[in-house]
Amino acid sequence: MNNRSRLKHLLILSILTWVVAVATVGYLSYSQYPVMVWALSLAPLLLSGVFAMMTLNQSQTELAEANRQHSRTKRHVQELQLKIDRFEYDARKAAEMRRIVLNSTQEKDHSLRNMALALDHAMDEILTVVDGLEPEDAELIRTRVEGMKRYSADLQGLARLELKSELPARIEIDFLKALNELIEGWSTFGKSHKVKIRLDNPEEQMPLYSDLNWIDNLLTRVVQALIRMNYDSTLKIHIIGYTDAELGEALRIELSIQGRELSEAQLKSILTEYLSIVEDGQEIGPGLSFVVARRMTQLLNGFMDVTQGPAGTEVLIVLPRNPITDDDEDSTVI
């Protein structure tokens, strides 16, 4: 017997007991009092019994409704628990997927570095056998091997950047002083291509919070790539400080050189893919230099672009002068 049936039986017994009690009292008192007095004295007893039954019935109705509400709440809680379990399962699967993707990406970058090392070793072996060849053939092979060694070095640098084994350490540097020292080294390289380097309208002071090794590495890659692609020209470097809408106080470095004009397809891929340009049997293309330089610029919280100028190639590099980051760590040059 359930609680509902038990309550129903108790209600019936209560009603029968009350009826018997009222009947007994009425029977025993009927002959002792006048009819009117007897009826008036018995009426409150009857009314109290009716009200008690009505109250009991209303309580039973409210109890039934409370039980139904409890069932609905319990079912809703169970549904929410199922959703929570599902969300936890999805979160675990997403975390596992992120771990797999991260491991896969790291394995890819490690493989990239290993392939670059293997390529560099193979080029060294080729160089050891060119001495027995004809001078023209030896020079051709040596030129192409040097191009492949630059490609290998860029691959290794790109792998280290993606693995984030090297991050810039930002300190205050005198950018103009550092740039003038760099230009001296670039000018020596430019003489082999009859390329002069000219710094246009620098400001008197230009402090920059950055990593000097990274700045050297970044700009040297870009400058040497531009020099290799051109001959008997002038490389102009223009620098201004300004307030950028996104970066705040920023440094705008514009490099332009007259000479070779890149095609639309070359410009489209020069920042993302290996670009080879062969002229007179020599590899003069930038390879991955602009790809690595662009990634370094991004890690310095700036941006880089390569466009076709009026009579040659133009490179724009924008760097924040005082970037705010959460992880300023020591780094080494690529």
The confidence score (pLDDT) of residue 176 equals 87
330 phi-psi bin (left φ>0, alpha ψ -120 to 50, beta other): beta
Q: Which phi and psi (to 5°) does residue 326 adopt?
A: -90, -20
- Percentage with pLDDT > 70 across the chain: 67
3 state SS of 333: coil
State how far the alpha carbon of 197 is from the alpha carbons of 186, 193, 227, 234, in Å: 8, 12, 10, 6
How many residues are recorded in the chain? 334
Q: Which phi and psi (to 5°) does residue 220 adopt?
A: -65, -40
Q: Which residue has the tokens 């540097």?
A: 173
- Percentage with pLDDT > 90 across the chain: 16
pTM summary value: 0.57
The confidence score (pLDDT) of residue 236 equals 93
Asked whether 125 and 172 are in contact (CB, 8 A), the reply is no
**Per-residue confidence band for 62, with pLDDT thresholds at 50, 70 and 90:** confident
pLDDT in tens, 258-275: 988 888 899 988 998 888
Residue 315 buriedness (CB in 10 A; 0-12 / 13-18 / 19+) = buried
